[in-house]
Amino acid sequence: MLRMRRTNDQKAETRQHIVEAAGKLFRQHGIDAVGVDAIMHAAGLTHGGFYGHFVSKEALVAEVAAASLARAAERWAQIAREGAADAALRRIVESYLDPAHVAEVEQGCVLTTLGPEVARRPEARPGIAASVRVMADALERCLPLGADAMAALSTMVGAVVLARVADTPELAEAILGAAKGAVCGPLPLCGGEPDPEGEVL
């Protein structure tokens, strides 16, 4: 039990640990199912210290949601900036619509793990919405002309939500596959080599 005074940098680090622990727990169990006590314990601290970092649990919720989604949005933006459009699109879409993303709830996209819960908290929405715009912009850079980025993002988010309520892996994978096809081919509006079985259109 080491209990030493920390410098300002160390306090910021502790705060970051709290945010990360909360992020995982909220996504795994839902915001209301996770108490301040459990968060602080997961961060290796005791509950009383929480209010030295945040004015309330709600303030933490807003920060956790915004920070986590902002990081994902920044990753997308970077991928979109870097390479060829269709390769970037496939990289983003395939990692998002991967069964691994569906399974790893505790580090899954906040839109799919906490979307409706965050929507009920007005103070958390601006931070989320800002990242939604960034994500749509990133997709816009990758998508072929005429495809709508907001629609593509909707498809991706909805597919992961649906895959998580599916009661069999087969259904989940069918949903992810269908969404993949709709967003980045072989269906219309998309570059990339045509799928051998993709003669549907």
42 CB contacts (<8 Å, ≥6 apart)?
21, 22, 24, 25
- Residue closer to DNA by CB (options 56, 78) is 56
Q: Give least dist CB 52 to DNA, A.
A: 5
Query: Which stretches of the chain bind a second copy, using CB under 8 A?
Result: 28-33, 105, 111-120, 125-126, 128-130, 132-133, 145-146, 148-159, 161-162, 164-168, 171, 174-175, 178-179, 181-182, 187-189, 200-201
In whole angstroms, how far apart are CA 54 and each of 30, 144, 192?
19, 44, 47
Residue 79 near residue 93 (C-beta atoms within 8 A):
no
Q: Does the footprint of DNA cover residue 122 (CB under 7 A)?
A: no
14 is a site residue for DNA (CB under 7 A) = yes
**Taking a C-beta distance cutoff of 8 angstroms, is the pair 57, 36 a contact?**
yes
Contact 60, 66 (CB under 8 A): no
**Token pair 């709508």 in the structure block, residue:** 148
Task: Please pick, from the candidates 19, 21, 25, 40, the single residue that binds DNA as defined by CB under 7 A.
Answer: 40
User: Up-side HSE of residue 180: CA atoms within 13 Å toward CB?
Assistant: 20
Q: Which stretch binds DNA (CB under 7 A): 5-13, 75-83, 148-156, 179-187?
A: 5-13
Interface ranges with DNA (CB under 7 A): 1-8, 10-11, 14, 34-38, 40, 45-53, 56-58
